[in-house]
Structure 1
Amino acid sequence: MQILSPQNARVKEWAGLLEKKYRDKHNKYLIEGIHLVQEALKANADIECICYEIESGIPSELNGVASSSLDVEWIGVSGAVIAKCSDAKTPQPVFAILRKVGGSLLPLLQKENSLVVVLDGIQDPGNVGTIIRSADAVGADGVIVGAGCADIYGPKVLRSTMGSLFHLPVIHGNLSEILPQAKEHGISLAGTSLQAAQSCYAYDFKGPVWLLLGSEAKGLSSEVRELMDDGLIIPMRGQAESLNVAMAASILLFEAQRQRYFN
Structure 2
Amino acid sequence: MEILSPQNARVKGWAQLQEKKHRDKQNKYVVEGIHLVQEALSSGADIECIAYDMDKGIPFELRQIPDRGQGAEWIGVSHAVISKVSDTPSPQPVFAVVRKEARQWQDLIMRENGLVIVLDGLQDPGNVGTIIRGADAVGAAGVILGRGCADLYNPKTLRSTMGSLFHLPVLEGELLSILPEARERGARLVTTMLEGKRSCFEYDFRGTSWIVIGSEGRGVSPEVAAIVDDAIRIPMPGQAESLNAAMAASVLMYEALRQRHYADTGQ
TM-score normalised by structure 1 residue count: 0.98
Return the offset for 1:207.
1.2
2:226 aligned partner: 226
Q: How big is the shift at 1:83?
A: 0.3
For 2:181 and 2:67, the matched residues in 1 are separated by 45
- Give the drift of 1:71: 1.1
Partner Cα separation in structure 1 for residue 173 and residue 44 of structure 2: 24
2:186 is matched by which residue type in structure 1? G
Q: What's 2:46 paired with? A: 46
Residue 23 of structure 1 aligns with an amino acid whose one-letter code is R
2:37 corresponds to: 37
Matched residue SS, 2:143? strand
Q: 1:89-108 residue pairs with structure 2 within 5 A?
A: 89-108=89-108
Matches within 5 A, 1:62-101: 62-65=62-65, 68-101=68-101
Residue 7 of structure 2 corresponds to residue 2 of structure 1: no
1:165 matched to 2:165? The reply is yes
SS of 2:29's equivalent in the other structure is strand
Shift of 1:64: 2.5
Alignment of 1:1-263 (within 5 A): 1-65=1-65, 68-263=68-263
**Unmatched runs of 5 consecutive residues or more in structure 1:** none
| Distance across 2 between alignment mates of 1:38 and 1:131 | 21
- Residues 11-70 of structure 1: per-residue CA shift (max 9 Å, x gap): 000000011010001000000000000000011000000000000000111113386433
* 186-195 vs 101-110, greater mean Cα deviation: 101-110
Task: Letter of the 1:63 partner, please give it.
Answer: R
Displaced runs of 4 or more, over 4 A: none
Per-residue displacement from partner, 1:187-233 (whole Å, max 9, x unpaired)? 10000101101100000011111000110111101110000100010
The answer to whether the Cα contact below 8 Å between 2:47 and 2:69 also exists between their aligned partners in 1 is no
Q: State how far apart, in whole Å, the 2-side matches of 1:107 and 1:23 are.
A: 24
Q: 1:191 to 1:151 in 2, by over 3 A?
A: same
Deviation sequence 1:92-139 (CA, Å, 0-9, x none): 000000000121112211111110000000000000000000000000
1:253 to partner: Cα distance: 0.1
Structure 1 vs Structure 2 CA RMSD: 0.9
Q: Higher mean Cα deviation, 99-108 or 132-141?
A: 99-108
Give the 3-state SS of the residue equivalent to 1:227 in structure 2: coil
Question: Using the alignment, how far apart are the partners of 1:68 and 1:130 within structure 2?
Answer: 27
Q: Distance in 2 between matches of 1:117 and 1:243?
A: 17
**SS of residue in 1 equivalent to 2:213:** strand
User: Whole-Å Cα distance in 2 between the matches of residues 94 and 66 of structure 1?
Assistant: 18
Q: Secondary structure at the match of 1:65?
A: coil
Whole-angstrom CA distance in 1 between matches of 2:57 and 2:175: 45
**Distance in 1 separating the partners of 2:203 and 2:96:** 43
- Which runs of no fewer than 5 residues in structure 2 stay unpaired? none
Distance in 1 between residues matched to 2:11 and 2:65, nearest whole Å = 24
Query: Structure 1 residues 241 and 100, CA, compared in 2 at 3 Å: closer, same or farther?
Result: same
Name the aligned partner's letter for residue 161 of structure 1. T
Give me the whole-angstrom Cα distance separating, in 2, the residues matched to 1:170 and 1:70: 24
User: Aligned with 1:194: secondary structure?
Assistant: coil
* Equivalent-residue separation in structure 1 for 2:65 and 2:185 (angstroms): 42
